Amino acid sequence: MPDFEKEYFTLTPEDAISYIKQKSDYFNKDAELEAAEIGDGNMNYVFKVRDKISGRSFIIKQAGPVARISDEFKVPTYRNRIESDLLTLLHRLSPGIVPAVYFHDPVMNCFVMDDLSDHQILRAALLDHKKLPRFADDISTYLANSLLLTSDVVLDHKEKKELVKQFTNPILDEITEDLVFTEPFYDCPRNDVLEPVHDFVKKEIWADEKLKLETAKLKFDFMTHSQSLLHGDLHTGSIFVKPDSTKVFDSEFTLFGPAGFDIGLLIANFIFAYANADATMEDKTAQKEYTKWLTDTTVQIIDLFFEKAGSLWDEKATEKVACYSGFREQYFKRILSDTAGYAGCELCRRVIGIAHVKDLTSIEDKTKRVHAEELSLLAGKKLILSREFISTGKDFVNILSEIEKKR
């Protein structure tokens, strides 16, 4: 039987069974355990261990020393501890919307958490054109709690600075800085642009000096503005859903940064879902109905976030100057502007950069895929350049509508 106490090694499904037997008493002695690797992400190894008799199951998530997307990315395995700590904190801040973590193992660089197999990845649900009536309410609650309750508006400043140290991971931060803000906006060798879209990217993105200046501003704000504790990678592949449940997970890219970053990434991925539905749904009536649900949900996520964050501000704010007349309005306006800018960066980088989204890559009709990618790029560019003029959630949808009318 493997020795899990001495030094790190990458688990196999068989090891995962031995590991959970040695490390916990979660299963009965007569349990018949089976394990499978279920992860399909770019960074980690994820195993589901299940008792065939009782049906009880848990997830083991282990950090590897290199990113699975590319050996170029050497990543620290201690990120697993940071993610475990974050999920534990977020589970306290947003109970019911973040899975429970049971323990972290610093030797094997893994942690054990709730199994969410009865849920579906949000991206998959959106690609199946499912409607989730409570999602906007759930995710806006999570965003308001996680972003406002970890800010200087609420937290004691010394406590917050200690959290900044706890959740600092310079190597993963650099990956985000490069992949989101730098590489997509010039002809980087690591980019992966669909050939029919290449000339469009060259003209509309790489040759636009004003756009590049704005992305530079956004990058430096991301690096220097430690406003709130971010998930750091809050796209539709990092959320599990059921019609009556939402669970946020996969938060190893956590850091303190601008609150609008998390909201912006999520909004961009709803625009990808819109582009996919527009390209793949043959029934035009159903397509119109579903894309309306996507845009309505986009508006609700943003507007409900500010409504709930405002209520939390009234209830929880401890910083005296945060209560000065007009300050909250200025603070929220900055978050909304950041949301637009970071949504724009995400829209561009998922088309141009190394890490794509299935919403676009799964569009089989090449002409429609090109249209979807160009729509995403133009929406991203417009959001970046006009972010200071965004005032409501509806403005995001209006930008999308304006671009579609011109194409």
Residue 39 pLDDT: 74
Residue 370 has pLDDT above 60, yes or no: yes
Residue 1 has pLDDT above 80, yes or no: no
Tell me how many degrees the CA angle 207-208-214 measures, rounded to the nearest 5: 140
Residue 40 pLDDT: 63
Alpha-carbon span 98 to 120, nearest angstrom = 14
Residue 44 pLDDT: 86
Q: For the residues 2-14, what does the mean pLDDT come to?
A: 92
Percent with pLDDT over 90 in the chain: 90
Whether residue 340 contacts residue 383, with contact meaning beta carbons closer than 8 Å, is answered with yes
Alpha-carbon span 234 to 163, nearest angstrom = 20
Whether residue 107 contacts residue 9, with contact meaning beta carbons closer than 8 Å, is answered with no
Residue 70 pLDDT: 59
64-95: b (≥16 Cβ within 10 Å) or e: beebeeeeebebebebbbbbbbbbbbbbebbe
Q: What is the pLDDT of residues 158-199, one digit of tens each?
A: 999 999 999 998 988 999 999 999 999 999 999 999 999 999
Enter the pTM of the model: 0.93
Domains of the chain, CATH where assigned: 13-114 (3.30.200.20), 120-406 (3.90.1200.10)
Q: Pairing between strand 33-37 and 44-51? A: antiparallel
Taking the alpha carbons at both ends of the chain, their separation in whole angstroms is 62
Q: What is the pLDDT of residues 47-98, one digit of tens each?
A: 999 999 999 999 999 988 776 555 666 677 778 899 999 999 999 999 999 9
Q: What is the pLDDT of residues 34-54, one digit of tens each?
A: 999 987 656 789 999 999 999
Q: Which residue type, as a one-letter code, is found at position 237? A: G
Average pLDDT, the chain: 95
Between the CA atoms of 183, 189, 194 and 200, what dihedral angle is there, to the nearest 10 degrees?
60
Q: For the residues 138-159, what does the mean pLDDT come to?
A: 98
Residue 16 pLDDT: 97
Residue 68 pLDDT: 57
